């Protein structure tokens, strides 16, 4: 019997401190001092491997679970998509089929295990993603989806390697930049901010990732007695058993956790 794919939603803990941080970030996003409310957010980073896709998914989960907002995630990273993997969904049909083949976007939406959270996956990878990526068409799609959803969170490619997020940023209500603490160089982060034109794009803030390994002890979730290692949770799900608390704490120190990704704005 095939196992059900594990979703990031299975690791989402309503009482964990990182959820509190995302709730704070979401509150600031939704309470921007502007005439029109923020209903679409682009999540990007300076370089590959900074955790932007995880941040995107955690923000969307928080919107649904904590704010009761009907939410759509759009995977607009046509080069290295990962949202479908995080939710255990098929890759397509998705955005690339909508852009390249004229598929109806409503037929390409995927349900998740969380009620009122849907995903428009990236779809089939193309040989020339630059030719497929159409910021005008994606902008129209986002505007159309605003009629059906309270919040749309867009996962896009990193800023420095490609121009996709710079072109798409003016089509959304705001941009979040993910920075990996202890890894992203200051000059690289500054360059990423410069690429997002402040005249046409609304930079909402920064999501600081990997904070457990770079910030003082009182930001460490073990300080609050929270040990939520993804591998530990998945093992528990598979075996139905829990490790002794002492052993769990030792394992948690060696493994990355969802709480490594924490929002700051």
Helix intervals (H) in the chain: 8-11, 17-30, 52-65, 83-86, 95-101, 129-132, 135-145, 164-168, 186-195, 230-239, 245-254
Would you say 151 and 181 are in contact if contact means Cβ atoms under 8 Å apart? Answer: no
Q: How far is Cα 189 from Cα 91, in angstroms, rounded to an integer?
A: 30
Q: How far is Cα 75 from Cα 82, in angstroms, rounded to an integer?
A: 8
pTM assigned to the model: 0.80
Q: How far is Cα 104 from Cα 109, in angstroms, rounded to an integer?
A: 9
pLDDT tens per residue across span 71-91: 999 999 999 999 999 999 999
Domain 8-216 classified CATH 3.40.50.300?
yes
Q: How does strand 117-120 pair with strand 203-209?
A: unpaired
Instruction: Say which residue, 196 or 60, is predicted with more confidence.
Output: 60
pLDDT tens per residue across span 29-38: 988 777 888 9
Per-residue pLDDT at 13 exceeds 70: yes
């Amino acid at each position: 019997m095939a196992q059900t794919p594990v979703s990031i939603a299975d690791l989402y803990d309503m009482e964990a401190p990182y959820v509190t941080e995302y709730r704070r970030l979401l509150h600031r996003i939704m309470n921007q001092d502007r005439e029109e409310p923020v209903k679409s957010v682009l999540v990007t980073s300076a370089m590959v491997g900074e955790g932007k896709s995880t941040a995107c998914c955690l923000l969307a989960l928080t919107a649904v679970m904590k704010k009761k907002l009907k939410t759509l995630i759009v995977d607009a990273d046509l080069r290295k998509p990962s949202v479908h993997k995080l939710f255990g969904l098929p890759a397509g049909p998705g955005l690339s089929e909508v852009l390249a083949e004229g598929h109806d976007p409503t037929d390409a939406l995927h349900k998740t295990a969380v009620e009122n959270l849907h995903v428009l996956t990236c779809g089939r990878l193309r040989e020339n993603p630059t030719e497929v990526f159409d910021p005008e068409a994606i902008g129209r799609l986002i505007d159309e989806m605003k009629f059906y959803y309270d919040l749309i969170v867009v996962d896009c490619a990193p800023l420095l390697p490609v121009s996709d997020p710079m072109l798409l940023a003016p089509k959304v209500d705001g941009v979040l930049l993910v920075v990996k603490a202890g890894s992203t160089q200051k000059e690289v982060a500054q360059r990423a901010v410069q690429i997002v034109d402040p005249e046409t794009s609304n930079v909402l803030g920064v999501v600081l990732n990997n904070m457990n390994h770079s910030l003082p002890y009182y930001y460490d979730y073990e300080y609050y007695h929270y040990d939520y290692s993804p591998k530990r949770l998945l093992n528990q799900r598979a075996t139905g058993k829990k490790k002794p608390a002492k052993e769990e704490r030792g394992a948690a120190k060696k493994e990355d956790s969802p709480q490594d990704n924490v929002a700051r704005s």
